[in-house]
Structure formats: structure tokens, C-alpha cells
Amino acid sequence: MIYARGLVKRFGDFTAVDGIDLEVAPGEAFGFLGPNGAGKSSTMRMIGCVSTPTAGELRILGMDPVREGPAIRARLGVCPQTDNLDPDLTVFENLTTYARYFGIPRAEGRRRATELLEFVQLTEKSGSTVDPLSGGMKRRLSIARAMINEPDLVLLDEPTTGLDPQARHLLWERLFRLKQRGVTLVLTTHYMDEAEQLCDRLVVMDAGKIVAEGSPRHLIETYSTREVVELRFGDDAPATYVEKLAGIGERLDPLPDRLLLYSADGDAAVNEVHRRGFTPSSVLVRRSTLEDVFLILTGRTLVD
Amino acid sequence: MDGTLAVFNRALVSYRRLWQASVFSSFILPVLFVLSIGIGVGGYISDVGGVSYLDWIVPGVLASTAFQMAVGESTFPVLGDFKWVRGFHAMRATPVRIADMISGYQLYIVFRVLIASVVFLGVSALFGAIHSPWVVLTPFVCALLGVAVSAPTSAFAATIENDSYFALLFRFLVIPSTLFAGVFFPVSQLPELLRPLAYASPLWHAVELCRAATLGVAPPWPVAAHVAYLLAWAGLGYLLALRAFRRRLSD
Ligand SMILES: Nc1ncnc2c1ncn2[C@@H]1O[C@H](COP(=O)(O)OP(=O)(O)OP(=O)(O)O)[C@@H](O)[C@H]1O
Ligand SMILES: [Mg+2]
């Protein structure tokens, strides 16, 4: 579906995407995970054939995005990072006018619009204009719009950013159904839980480069431990405890407000902390997540 | 062609939602103009070259309505589709080509201008201001004028970042054209030095063609020359729009 070798995107002398390699297979759900400015959207725009690569090789659906842009775009569904719905048109009209861009006949466009509104649970809003819709509804409409041409490949740039947890879960559930139908999904996200929920495979991007690649589970196993203990020590700076707790678990990461202790067995690690005579003000043992992987790989948290 | 029609369709659907907002400027204002100036001011003016003032300004107001509508519809709506609504970015992600975006929108301008012209001519006929069957050509002259000014204005709108430039466009080009390009008084009344500026305006050519058609007389220049001048604006404007849209939509 997607094949890239040494893909580069420069804006002036700033390099946004710095030589990445990618392969996405049919039916796969593939994710780009990374902080602001990592180059996720720049990569997605090249894949969507709306931005020309500065260097490197890129094939989408076996075609060349520069020469065969319209033919590729006819088979893509794109949900951009910032919504570009028509605010003055109704929800339904947003879908039917968009259908025409793909040369879909009127009646067929209406049929698909009705079906897709059902799918994203916006049927009651069908006749409402877009302007007053909530952020989550607009996002769902954008996703429905991206499906209007029954695409082979769907590109979703931060589909759930800015949504409340409930709206996010509804979207995840819909995206999961798309995946079950065999649609190839490529998405970007800041959210670890989103990547874990939706992606079969993902790459972690930082400053234009891919710093790790694999399934969520594989990444966690490779770069983190099974469990993570979060320790807080009242007003003391967590960094001062790094030395005192050395040797417990496999790795210690001091954050401004807490100390992360990576260990295959969190409870055993906590016992050891107590045995050495330290009493943290709070202790939390949890499963390791991609967030931890990201922190280990880049030394930074994803949250700004 | 499919893409062009799809873009045209979207503009029509928008218009169906928002047409009330432009009823006054498209249909009512031109008639008020003719009533107040044609009949009101005309009462103090015996005639212009043997034609009653009302009959004389009807074709002028006809063309200038098309002119203002075509420019107006190509300023904020076009910039907005790049900056706020991002409708062109939405099209860009589909098989629609950049040429389709421009052609489809020009088709919409033609549609708007044709409707406004026909309505205005209907009202003018009630006042007895139409004197020749050639009048049937005037909506097409207005449509050509519409493209001649809408295409370059779209190019301009696609180039700028800030809508304050539109104020300059109106202040230095649109309003002076409307006032001095033969809509309300003959260009021959202007000082010799300023006349070329009126001749340069596409509006003047359309005004003269429309006036010739409603009065059944010959225009000042050969018809082909007036038409060619308008076509040149349309063609050049289209190329400029293509270039501006390409620049704005690709990186
Ligand atoms: N058109 C452009 N011109 C100049 N610089 C750009 C352009 N588009 C993106 N950039 C820069 O490229 C870098 C990567 O941007 P990109 O949008 O790809 O990041 P991202 O990973 O999607 O970030 P976010 O999570 O904030 O969406 C940023 O520093 C951005 O400022
Ligand atoms: Mg982005």
C-alpha cells in the first residue's frame, strides 16, 4: 500500500522529515506516534499526494504520487489534522458535495451519505449545518467524509485530538470496525493509548526521524519492562533518589514530579524500596505503556 | 470536466443556503440605482446624446452590477476557502484538479451574473428602457465581464494572507472603475489625460457593449475589439489564478 525509502521533506533549510523508510501492507492499521513537530503531518501529506517529497522514493498503491496524484487520491480517504468541512452546508450536504469530487453520481452519493451518517451516529444531525456541531461530531463527520469514495487506504491525522474521553472511545470503536472490514488505516497520534488500541504496527517519530518501529507490544517489550512503578516523595526532588535506589529494577527515570522505576515485577521492586528504608508519599504500580517507550527513546515525555 | 462540475455544484449548494444574504446587492440595489439616479437625477438632465438618461444608464448599471458581484464573490469567499474554511484544501485531497477549482468557480460566477442580469433586464423592460432585440446578448457580455474580473481577482485572493488588501482593491480599482468607466456619464466628459484609464478598465468595454445592445446602436470600438479585450482579461486572469492556486496549494 505504502512504500517509502529515504523519504525527505524540507521547508527551506528546515528538515521536517529526515529520511524515513516505511512499508504498510493491505489491511494493516499503521500508526505514527510522536510529539509536536515530529514530522507526522508532513509525512501524511506526502502520502496523501498533496505535498511533494524533497527527496527519496515514495510509492502509494503501487503508483507514483507526483505523476499519478489524481489516480491515487481517487482511492484514498483523508481526514486532515484541521477539519475543513463546509460550515454553512448541512452535515448531509457536506457528504454529497464531497462525493461529487470523486465523480460519484448524485443518487449513489446520497445513498452512501445516509449509510455513513448511520455509521458515525450522526443521522439525527443530518439536516443541521456544521457550524454548531461539537468538536467530536465534526471529527466523526470528517471521518465519514473520508469514507465516501470507499477508499482502499484511509489517512487519519490525529483523529481524536481535542476530544473528550467519551467521544474518543466512540471514534475508536468506529475505526476499529473499519479495520475489521479490511480497510487499511494509517493514523497519527499523540496518544499512547490510542496507538495501543488501534495500531497493529507503529513507528515512533522524533525530529523527523523514525526512532523505533514495531507492534505496540513488541515496542514495550523491547524498550521497556513489563511493569512501571511511579514513586512520589513529598517535596523532595525525585532526582535525589536515583542514587539511593540504584540497582532496583532495570532503569530509573526521574521526572520533575515523580520517579519512574522500570521492573518486570513492580511489587517486588516496591518491597525493595521499603526494605532500603524509604517511604514514598505515593506508590503506583502499573503496566508499562508506549508512553514509557517514548520517554526511554527520546528522554522526553509526549505531553507538552 | 467532472471535477469542474463538482466544484460548481458545491458553490451552488452553498448559494442555495446563503442566497438571502445577497438578494439586496444582487437584485434590489441595482433597481434602486436606476430609480434614484435614472429617474431622480434624470429629471434634471434632458438627455445624453439624444437618449433619455434613464435609458442611457440602465446598461451601465447592468454591467456595473455584474462587475461588482464578480469581484465581490472572488474576494472573501476565495480567500476564505484557503484560510478559514479550507474548502480548496478539502478538494485538493480528492481527484479534483486545480484547474477544476478555478473553472468550477468561474462557472458559478457566470451563473450568478446571468441570473442577476436577467432579473435586472426584466425590471428595466418594465420601465421601457430596452430599445433593441440585441439586448438578449447583454447577459452574455456581463458573464464575460464577470470572468474577466473574477479570474484575476481570484488570483489576487489566492496570493494574499490578509483580507485588508481587499479594501485597497475596492478603493483604488473597483470604486474608481464604477464611477469613471462610463456607467453614469460618458467617458468623453473626462479630461483627455484620464480617459485611457477608463479604457483600460474591463468594465468600460462591457458597459459600451451593453449600451450598444440595449439602445440598438454601434459601440465606440468595433465589437470584436471590445470582446477581445475582455477575453484577454479572462484568459490572462485564468492563467494567473492557476499559478496562484498552485503556489498556495503545493509545498
Ligand atoms: N508548510 C510548511 N512550511 C514550513 N514549515 C513547515 C510546514 N509544514 C510543517 N512545517 C514544520 O515542519 C515540522 C514538522 O511539522 P509537522 O506538522 O509534520 O509535525 P507533526 O508531527 O504533525 O506535529 P503536530 O503533532 O504538532 O501535528 C514543524 O516544525 C513545522 O513547523
Ligand atoms: Mg500534525
Q: Domain holding A44: CATH number?
A: 3.40.50.300
Interface of chain A toward chain B, CB-CB under 8 angstroms = 11, 45, 48, 50-52, 70-71, 73-74, 76, 78, 80, 82, 84-90, 93, 96-98, 100-103, 129, 149
Strands A259-263 and A55-60: unpaired
How many angstroms away from the CA of B157 is the closest CA of chain A?
A: 19
Q: How far, in Å, CA of A296 to CA of A225, rounded?
A: 11
Tell me which ligand sits closest to the C-alpha of residue A205. 1
Task: Indicate if A16 and A115 belong to the same structural domain.
Answer: yes
Task: Indicate if A237 and A181 belong to the same structural domain.
Answer: no
How many angstroms away from the CA of B10 is the closest CA of chain A?
A: 6
Q: Give, rounded to a whole angstrom, the gap between the first and last alpha carbons of chain A.
A: 33
In the 8-state DSSP scheme, what is residue B171? Answer: I
Run of H or E residues at B9: helix B2-18
Residue A223 CB burial class (10 angstroms; 0-12, 13-18, ≥19): buried
Task: Indicate if A181 and A155 belong to the same structural domain.
Answer: yes
Cα angle, residue A53 at apex, residues A51 and A54 outer, rounded to 5°: 125
Task: Indicate if A203 and A242 belong to the same structural domain.
Answer: no
Cβ within 8 Å of A, B 53-92 = 85-87, 89-92
At residue A304, does pLDDT exceed 60? no
In a domain, A132, yes or no: yes
At residue A240, does pLDDT exceed 90? no
- Contact residues on chain A for B10, CB-CB shorter than 8 A: 86, 97, 100
pLDDT tens per residue, range A169-225: 888 998 999 899 989 999 998 888 888 889 999 999 999 999 999 998 898 888 888
- Write the CATH number for A237: 3.30.70.980
Q: Give, rounded to a whole angstrom, the gap between the first and last alpha carbons of chain B.
A: 25
Run of H or E residues at A175: helix A165-180
In a domain, A299, yes or no: no
Residues within 6 Å of ligand 1 by CB: A 11, 14, 16, 34, 36-42, 81; B 251
Domain boundary among A197, A215, A233: A215
Rounded distance from Cα B251 to ligand 1 centre (Å): 12
pLDDT tens per residue, range B119-164: 999 999 998 889 999 999 999 999 999 999 999 999 999 999 999 9
Task: Indicate if A98 and A139 belong to the same structural domain.
Answer: yes
Rounded distance from Cα A111 to ligand 2 centre (Å): 32
Residue A303 — pLDDT band, cuts 50, 70, 90?
A: low
In a domain, A122, yes or no: yes
In the 8-state DSSP scheme, what is residue A238? Answer: G
DSSP characters for B99-151? HHHHHHHHHHHHHHHHHHHHHHHHHHHHTT----GGGGGHHHHHHHHHHHHHH
In a domain, A116, yes or no: yes
Task: Indicate if A283 and A206 belong to the same structural domain.
Answer: no
pLDDT at residue number A220? 85
Q: Which residues constitute the domain of residue A59? A: 2-215
Of residues B9, B89, B250, nearest to A84 (C-beta): B89
Q: How far, in Å, CA of A198 to CA of A189, rounded?
A: 10
Domain boundary among A215, A243, A275: A215
Task: Indicate if A120 and A198 belong to the same structural domain.
Answer: yes
Mark the residues whose beta carbon lies below 5 A from ion ligand 2: A 40-41, 81
- Contact residues on chain B for A86, CB-CB shorter than 8 A: 10, 14, 85, 87, 90
pLDDT tens per residue, range B2-60: 999 999 999 999 999 999 888 888 889 888 988 888 788 878 887 888 889 999 999 99
Q: What are phi and psi of A282, to 5 degrees?
A: -150, 150
- Contact residues on chain B for A131, CB-CB shorter than 8 A: none
ipTM of the complex: 0.92
Task: Indicate if A55 and A127 belong to the same structural domain.
Answer: yes
Sheet holding A184-189, edge to edge: A76-79, A153-157, A184-189, A29-33, A201-206, A209-214
In a domain, A297, yes or no: no
Task: Indicate if A70 and A151 belong to the same structural domain.
Answer: yes
In a domain, A150, yes or no: yes
- Contact residues on chain A for B9, CB-CB shorter than 8 A: 97, 100
Task: Write the residue with the smallest CA distance to atom 29 of ligand 1.
Answer: A37
Cβ within 8 Å of A, B 160-219 = none
In a domain, A268, yes or no: yes
How many angstroms away from the CA of B76 is the closest CA of chain A?
A: 15
- Contact residues on chain A for B3, CB-CB shorter than 8 A: 101, 103
pTM of the model: 0.91
pLDDT at residue number A302? 59
Split into its structural domains, chain A has a count of 2
Task: Indicate if A174 and A65 belong to the same structural domain.
Answer: yes
Q: Give the nearest ligand 1 atom to B251 CA.
A: 1
Domain boundary among A171, A193, A215: A215
Task: Indicate if A10 and A98 belong to the same structural domain.
Answer: yes
Determine contact, residues A93/B13, Cβ cutoff 8 Å: yes
Inter-chain residue contact B6 with A101, CB threshold 8 Å? yes
Residue A5 — pLDDT band, cuts 50, 70, 90?
A: very high
Task: Indicate if A103 and A48 belong to the same structural domain.
Answer: yes
In a domain, A294, yes or no: no
At residue B117, does pLDDT exceed 60? yes
Q: How far, in Å, CA of B213 to CA of B55, rounded?
A: 12
